[in-house]
Each structure stands twice: as structure tokens, then as C-alpha cells.
Structure 1
Amino acid sequence: MKKTIPTIVMAVLCLSFGTYGQDKRTSPNPLKVGELIPAELLNKTLDLVDHKGKRNEIKLADANDKLIILDFWASWCGPCLESLKKLEVLHKQFKEELLIMPSTYQGADTASKSLLKNGITMSSVMGKSNEFMKQYFPHRFVPHQVWIKDGRVKGITAHYATNEANIRAAIAGEPIKIKTKEDIANYSRITPLTVYAHQKGVKVNTQLTVSPYIEGLGSNSGRYSLDSTHTVYYYNHPVISMYADALDMNFNRIILAMKNAQQYTDLNIEPENRQFNFQLLIQQDSKQNMTNQILKTLDWSFHLKGLLCKRKVDCYVIKKGEHKTQAVTTISGNKQVIKMPVFLKLLNMSQIWSADQPIFLNESGFNGDITFDKPLNNLKKNIPVLEKTLSAVGLKLEKVTRELEMYVLTDAE
């Protein structure tokens, strides 16, 4: 039974495909907030291109008396283009005191066409000049902005903090409250997200791992909590067993209505083809919310749909009889005495799902001792012997049809 797990990734920052750093033997040290801009960067001639394709040059030193905002961008990055449009307005508003300097790793032709298409009249640094600056301000995601004032790095941020209030404060030499953007240098899309969360000290709210059978892992299940984080796990378990545990429900209350239910229950199928691993880490404030989340995630993971509903089913009801009979003749010579509630629970319990598991109900009001011959499975499979066991304490067994709450599993649409 092959299952696939879709993965959805959404981002508001774009991965930059430019070179991340250079040869360690020749690269300058990346600059941090508060550090001075070195002369080699201040006086470096940078290549520019505008929306008309016109080429030009500039040095950061030429605008050392202004607030400079370097804005690393790319033509394919939606947030970058929206940021450029916002910067265009701010650039015109503060043109005497502010220099916005877009910068892209892309070539002159691509950069120029993108500027023209998006109505951006500011010239952009491009190509090799961008890569030179990126040595001092390495990043993996764009937009990536660097604020420079009086020859010193005032801020390294994403585009969110670039607004009129912060620009006015920076121009006036006042402190600015902008969050420093720190990209994960070793980012890889194939690395599990949890690695980066732990690296940054971020608490994981939800984490799901589903896999086929893993040899050597054993068959285990359980739940544990750390602070407000709850984890449920099923290792090398049948899918139906996962549902039964999540519901805290016996197998005889689960109806399988899938087209190919046999693939979930046939014990002749090798374990590696019918058992799976499931681990869910979630933040929930109540047991019911957690149960609902587990069930929804099981549905999604195994392409099923579960529904708790009323169904008319055949069952055996324990009722008061007319009189007590003689004790049951010992079959195995190994008697056991337990209370009725436990006896009923064991009657309904089973280790695996099967279609012929009867449902037992107690409507007798009797909660006293039941004496029976072990193993109990003999009674579940031999109704006449069970009837004799019950009659010894004045009870009888009737087979009836009742409308009971059942959990029905079907294929997802």
C-alpha cells in the first residue's frame, strides 16, 4: 500500500541564486551593524543600469553625506518588486537626503527590462558589482537591505522596516528600531525545517513524520508531553490500530467501508506492506482538540476519511435473567474472577481488527463478580458457553440490533 505525502512550502522572502560568499582566502569579513564601511568598498566603482538600459557608475563615497539604503533584489522575486515600488516613492520624497541603491546579481539587460516593466526609474547596481558588495553583506534571501549612514552600517534588514518614520530617524541621526536580518547561511531546501528551527531557537508548533515500515524499529506507540508540546507516535503499526488508539475505541466499533479494506487488515500481507510509522508533534490546549487533530492528520496522511456516526449493528446485550444456575463446569481448570465492568471491557477488546468481532453491551445493572474459564477468547467465540457463564449469576444474553455510535472509515474523495 503505497502512500505519498504532499509538501507545501510558502515564502515571503526569495532565495537568492547569486554567489554566497567567495573563496575564504580572499573574501573580506562580512560587515555587521555598527561597523565602519572599509575604504575598498566606499571607493569601489559600481556599475549601474536604469530602466532605459543606460549604463553609469557610482561609488558609495559619492553619497557619503546621505542615508544610503542598499536593496538587493531579483527580477523573479515578487516581494522584491513590491519593495522597489515602495522605495521609488521614498526615494523621490527624500531625494536630497536619501540614496536608494537597488542591486541585483542579474545582468544589465534583465535588470533594465524588469525596472522598465515595473515602473522603477532608479538605477540599479548589477552583475559583478553586486557580487562584490555581497561579499560584505552576504545573504541567502532577497529582499535584503543595508542601511549606511556616515560611513557606518546602521541596519541590515528585510524590506518590512523601510518606512518614512525610520528613514526620518536615520537621517536625523536618531536610533532606529529595525530587526536585524540574519539569513541561514547553510540553508538547503532538502534539509528538514526542524533543523533550522532548533538552530534559531524557534519552537516547532506542528511536526508530522509519516513513513513506511522501518526494519528494526520494533512496534511501539505512545504519547508524551513537554511543556505545551504534545507528541503522539505509532511505530510500525497498522493504520486501523492508529485510528483505534486515537479514538480510544475498540476495533468492534470501527467499520471499514474502503474499496480495498483487505490491504489494511490481511495478516497474510507482509508487515512492511501494511504497517507504517506516524509521529505528530502539536500544540493543543485540550485532549479533545488533540484527538481531532490526530484524526484529521491520519485522514490526510493515509488518504482516508473518518466519521463518527450512528449505525444499526448487531450486538449481544447482557440482561437480567430469571434465576441463577449452577456454576459452569470448568473447561480448562483455570478459573478467573473479575468484576463485570472489566469482564465487559475484555469481551469487547481485541488485538487486531476483524469483520466478525461481536459487540457486547451490559444492560443488566449487575457489576459484581463473574467467574469464567480462561482464556476469555473462548467465551467470545463460544456464545453458548458465555451464556452459561452469565446465567451462573442470574444473567442472560440476547442478540439484538441496536443503533450505536460507530466510527466509519472510507476512502478520501
Structure 2
Amino acid sequence: MTHFYKGGSELPIGTQCSCLQQTKSNCLKLSILIWGIVMFSMFSLSAQTPRKDSGADGLSIKSLEVGSIIENQLWNMPLKTIDHTKVEKTITLQKYRGKKLLILDFWTVWCAPCIRKLKELSASQTLIDTNAVVIPVTINDAHAAGRILQQNNIGFSSIYADSLLRKYFPHVSVPHQIWIKDGRVAYITDGNLTSVANINKLVHNKPVHLLPKSAEINREELRNLSKPDIDSNRIGQVILSSEFAKSLPYSVFAKFDTKYSLTLYNHSVLGLLLHANRKEIPFVGMRNRVIWNVADSTRYWMELPAELINTKEYEKENALRAWKSSNLYCYYLKSNEMLDEQQKTDLLKLDLAKLLELKFNARSYVATSRVEAWCLYIRDAAVFKKCYSKSGATGKIKADKGYFSLVNRPLQSLVSYLADNNYKDKLPVTDVTGYAGNVSMDLYADTKNLCAVDAALQRYGLGIKRDTIALPMLVIERRGDHD
């Protein structure tokens, strides 16, 4: 038995029977396939109970929320900082208590969006009102934090090895920003809409457009989250149950895979299809590997619209959240017998086929098609051999505006990065070099300009060009088109 639910109104769908759910225990079993509109209560999203932890000098720490007043205990807490010249100091927030606006920007050395935002604000530091201050905060040690600040020329001093501020402002993910206005928590945000303009507006008590950070849940809580009741089917001695459920009201995109189950949280229909077909179309270079033969209105519900991605605009951020609430799914599959990877994938494909048929009157399959693509190729084999990785150096990827570096990494890393940076080009990016080893190279080019990338690759005996090539493609089409 398979049921499909998502945010908003739900359409219970089953091949043998369906449940019209008004409460968990109230089900009406039907003997024929039906479509019914159901109002299914959202997962409750109650405010988290403030936590109390032991802080400096054994004092009690109470987590703070929007509207909370910053008390003396926090203002006077000694905090260690480091800057991009690796000068270390001990400060207290009391130093900035007279500022109109204090932004605590929680980050980590492995968070690329955090570093990009810090670089952006640092580059515009002279434009930020003198009555505002940005203070980065990281759990990383002085060496790691100082190295990132230095490498990226970030002019802010950062609090490092933090173990106390994150208790006042608990969070699961970064970026995580706390905006403190006149000694009171005014906003808790993910930083996507943070700008010099918004900072300066708030300093002068003008309206700003910021969205609160989406609710969070950690992996352990997510793993233990109660799953919806789902019916079971017996196939021989194996009892299977599976369901597509509404998206969780948390900022989470996750997968849990065990010998007996598969759970996917908050995936779009396209994301689920790509996961199910990852053997034929690997995640590396999967961008633009879809042939759409459905109406634009149908595609809209299956794929996150490109115009809503990374816009940094208030209205579009709101629209993005609304789209996710209505169009993301969770998938639950469990069995009383062990399932191997292929069995779980096959079951997911069967369930997706039902979902596409009954919700969208569509179907999907993978077919090799001749399509136009950007192809990474070997221009000069002798020159290319010089960038083969021969040492056991730790694999690294570094990316910045106008720069991309690989150290002992496969060419697939370059293909994936170029595909992600050029998804609006609508052409797939693929590797036709046939080389499976690791390479080391430094590219000085705008990675969103593939012609410039082609010129930069020449020194390594490589190139990238538009060509027509046979590639496995995911085809999504209206049912009946080829029946």
C-alpha cells in the first residue's frame, strides 16, 4: 500500500485501498481507487523550551529568542578573538554595548555560504554605519579560524572556540545570525538577506525586510521523529510499507538509510527521481540532465523554479519558502526483512511511478539521447599528463570569484562545480576525457563563463566545448504521448 501526501490539501492515493485521514485512528477503507481531498494536520511546530546550561563561573545559561533582553552576564563574558593577521585578543561584548546594532554571525570553516557572506560584508565594511558592528563567532580553533580569515582577506575579528554563545543562541546549522538592536534580540536569521542596506536601515530605525530562520531539527531528533502510520503489504514472507508524506516544517534535507529502511526528508519530485536513478545519472554532473515533455505548470510542481534560487530578495525568499512548503515530500520505506541497495531503489521507483501517474498524469524513464552539452575533453594528452596527481596529498577544492583549484581530486569535481555554476545555461556538463585518476590544477577564470574556462584549461592540455553527444537522460513526459 502506498499513500502520497504533501503540504496543503492532500490526495490519498492507493492501488488497493486508501485512507481518508481526519485523525490517526479514523480511517475509512475503500475497495476501489479514489481521489479525495483531505485536510491533514501539519506536524506541530511548537516553540522549543528554553534550555538551561552551565556557563562561565557555573552560572545558568538560558537560551535567548527574539525579544529577549541581553543581560549583564552575557555582556561581560570574556571571549577570545582572532583576526586575519592572526592577532589574538580577549574581549567582552560590553565593548559594543553602546552600538545601535550588534550582529553575531555564527560560522564554521567548512561553511562556504558563511565565508562568502563574511567576505561580502568585510569588503563593504567602510559602508556599514559606525553604530553597527558585525562579530563572527565560530566553534573552530584559533589556527583554523585565523587561516580562513587570512585566506579570504576578511577584516572582522572572529570569536573562536566558542562554547558559550551557542548555548545562548542554540542552532543546528550555519549561517546563523543574531541581530541585537538596542540591547534586545531583534532578528534571528540565516543571513541570506543580510546586506549593508538592511544593516544601516535598522540602525536608523527604518523598516527592514528580513525573514526569520526556518525551524531546525538535529539529526538525532530527526531520526527519532514519529513517522505517519502506514499500511503494510505482504509479498511472500516480506512485509513492506512505504509512503510519501508531506514535507517537514524544518529547514532540513536529509537521507537515512538502514538495512531495513530508507527515509528521504524534504525532497522535490525531481530530487526523488534523480535519487532513484542515480546509478544511470550520477549526482556529479546531474544538472540539466532532464528532458521535460510536460506542461510548464506541471514542471513547476516537480522542480524548484530557477528564479527562486539564491535571489537574496525578500519577496522571492518568501515565495521560495511557500513553494517548499507545498511541493517537497518525505518518503518512508521499511521492511521486516533486509533490503539491499538495489531493492530499495527498485521499490522507490515503483512508488514514484504511482505518484507521477496519479498526481501528475506523467511518467519517467532514463533513455540515452543525443543532446547538446558542454564537454570536458583532452586537447593535448602530453600536456594533460603533467597535471596527474602523483603524491598522496590530501584532496582539496578551493573556489573563489575568478578562481578554482583542485589538489589531488578527480575531474568529476570540476565537472560538478561547473554544472552547478552554469545550471541556467540549460546544457549539461559532462566529462569525455576518459581519465579516472586525480589531478591538481589552478584555474584563473570566471567559472560562470565557460569560454573563459576553456581558455584557462588550455595550459593543462584540456578544453571544454559545446558538442552533440549521447548521454543518459531522465525523461519526464505526459502519459499517453507514446502509448
TM-score by length of 1: 0.45
